[in-house]
């Protein structure tokens, strides 16, 4: 069991060992992803201990790196997957396929073929469906195994409208159709659970709305007969504070509110944190290459870009930033951007940072979730290396790509 005695509820960027980070940037070059696997295990354990009578899975889509998957498996997590590649990568990391849960969202034929073939040898695999079409397609493949129904609770929550899945028609069976679909699943498959996911990035102040969605899931479970269900899965979406003045998620309050919202159930409660487990365990190191005094701001150019971390461009997300080379310099408001030819390639506008100079290393915090997962090769930029920290040691877990990696698939 991970010792949580010295593990704060959130790791702020200023809490990292900045001399160590500067050394990593010097040894492995930049841009560089850094993941602290010990912190990954601490975060999972803390969340799991807050729900002692529930099953806490890890949502792989937050970070599917093999080292991270191995860490959460070592911490005792099962894994929830949203695509066939996540299923395979979880197995490659050591997961028993009988423990995996595949949440199919408009799954391509290849995904369903993979999942049903896998289930033929691993009957414990659970396939979660969000459309009756998926039931038809499973039946066409001769599948009659474990099925969970994804509910659309009609309530979306989270840090941005693009992640408020609970109110998006793309996700889940419309609420009032669930009892009829449950009857069909019982006739043709093994109905093992209900599932819902309201949104992503929920902090304490957003719990009330989040729990309104969970309350509807509990009500539906009782309508379809929770005594006959193995589990009721209320998803993930639990956030971490990205801004320095935001408080961490109050886990005790979260646990009490979720339990109250779902109500009395004979089925096991499941949760699927992803971001909470990995976000503050990861950061990006990037070198300053340009300082430009413009009329309205000082522009700081770095070698990371939206191809390295797209969240600021995609969601307008705030990520903390720190000058690890000279944290003691006076702060100066700067606009920090990368080398990509679009105005969207900006990490911060007029952000107070210890005055950067060319050659300094900046750290971009809370990059452990949906960071490397969304990295691209835009502008023919090879993706960065990733270093894992564990037991005081650093090791490369993903090598830096070369241009040959970028062009390898061309014919």
Known binder of ligand: residue 275? yes
Phi, psi of 317 (to 5 degrees): -75, 145
- Concatenating the DSSP letter of every residue in 60-123 gives GGG---HHHHHHHHHTT-EEEESSHHHHHHHHHTT--GGG-EEE-SS--HHHHHHHHHHHHH-T
Known binder of ligand: residue 370? yes
Residues facing 285 on adjacent strands: 32, 363
- Among the listed residues 308, 228, 296, the one whose alpha carbon sits nearest the alpha carbon of residue 266: 228
Known binder of ligand: residue 248? no
User: Does residue 81 have an active-site annotation?
Assistant: no
Q: Helix (H, G, I), strand (E, B), or coil: what is residue 384? A: coil
State the Cα–Cα distance between residues 363 and 340, nearest whole angstrom. Answer: 19
Known binder of ligand: residue 237? yes
Q: Helix (H, G, I), strand (E, B), or coil: what is residue 376? A: coil
Tokens (6 digits) for 32? 């560089």
Known binder of ligand: residue 383? no
- Among the listed residues 17, 1, 69, 15, the one whose alpha carbon sits nearest the alpha carbon of residue 40: 69
Q: Which of 169, 227, 341, 409 is catalytic?
A: 341
- Among the listed residues 303, 222, 296, the one whose alpha carbon sits nearest the alpha carbon of residue 266: 222
- Residues at the annotated binding site for substrate? 275, 311, 370
Q: Which residues are catalytic?
A: 341
- Residues at the annotated binding site? 237, 272-275, 311, 370
- Residues at the annotated binding site for pyridoxal 5'-phosphate? 237, 272-275, 370
């Amino acid at each position: 069991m991970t010792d949580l005695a010295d593990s704060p509820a959130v790791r702020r960027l200023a809490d990292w060992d900045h001399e160590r980070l500067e050394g990593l940037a010097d040894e492995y070059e930049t841009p560089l992803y850094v993941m602290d696997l010990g912190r990954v295990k601490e975060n999972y354990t803390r969340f799991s201990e807050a729900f002692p009578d529930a099953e806490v899975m890890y949502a792989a889509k937050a970070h599917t790196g093999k080292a991270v998957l191995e860490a959460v498996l070592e911490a005792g997590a099962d894994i929830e997957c949203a695509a066939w590649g996540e299923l395979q990568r979880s197995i490659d990391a050591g997961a028993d396929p009988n423990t995996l849960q595949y949440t199919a969202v408009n799954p391509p034929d290849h995904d369903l073929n993979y999942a049903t073939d896998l289930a033929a040898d691993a009957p414990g695999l659970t396939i979660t469906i969000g459309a009756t079409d998926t039931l038809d397609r499973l039946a066409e493949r001769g599948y009659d195994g474990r099925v969970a129904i994804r509910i659309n609770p009609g309530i979306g929550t989270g840090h941005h409208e693009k992640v408020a899945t609970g109110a998006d028609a793309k996700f889940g069976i419309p609420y009032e159709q669930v009892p009829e679909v449950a009857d069909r699943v019982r006739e043709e498959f093994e109905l093992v659970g209900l599932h819902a996911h309201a949104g992503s990035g929920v902090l304490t102040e957003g719990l009330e709305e989040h729990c309104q969605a969970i309350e509807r899931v509990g009500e539906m479970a009782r309508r379809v007969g929770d005594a006959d269900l193995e589990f009721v899965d209320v998803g993930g979406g639990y956030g971490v504070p990205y801004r320095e003045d935001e408080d961490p998620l109050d886990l005790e309050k979260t646990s009490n509110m979720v339990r109250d919202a779902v109500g009395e159930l004979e089925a096991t409660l499941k949760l699927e944190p992803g971001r909470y487990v990995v976000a503050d365990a990861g950061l990006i190191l990037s070198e300053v290459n340009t300082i430009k005094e413009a009329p309205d701001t000082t522009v700081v150019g770095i070698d990371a870009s939206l191809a390295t971390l797209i969240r600021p461009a995609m969601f307008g997300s705030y990520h903390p930033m720190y000058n690890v080379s000279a944290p003691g310099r006076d702060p100066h408001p700067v606009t920090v951007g990368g080398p990509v030819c679009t105005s969207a390639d900006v990490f911060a506008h007029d952000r107070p940072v210890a005055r950067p100079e060319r050659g300094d290393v900046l750290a971009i915090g809370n990059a452990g979730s949906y960071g490397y997962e969304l990295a691209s090769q835009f502008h023919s930029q090879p993706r960065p290396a990733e270093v894992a920290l564990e037991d005081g040691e650093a090791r490369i877990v993903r090598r830096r790509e070369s241009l040959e990696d970028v062009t390898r698939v061309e014919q």
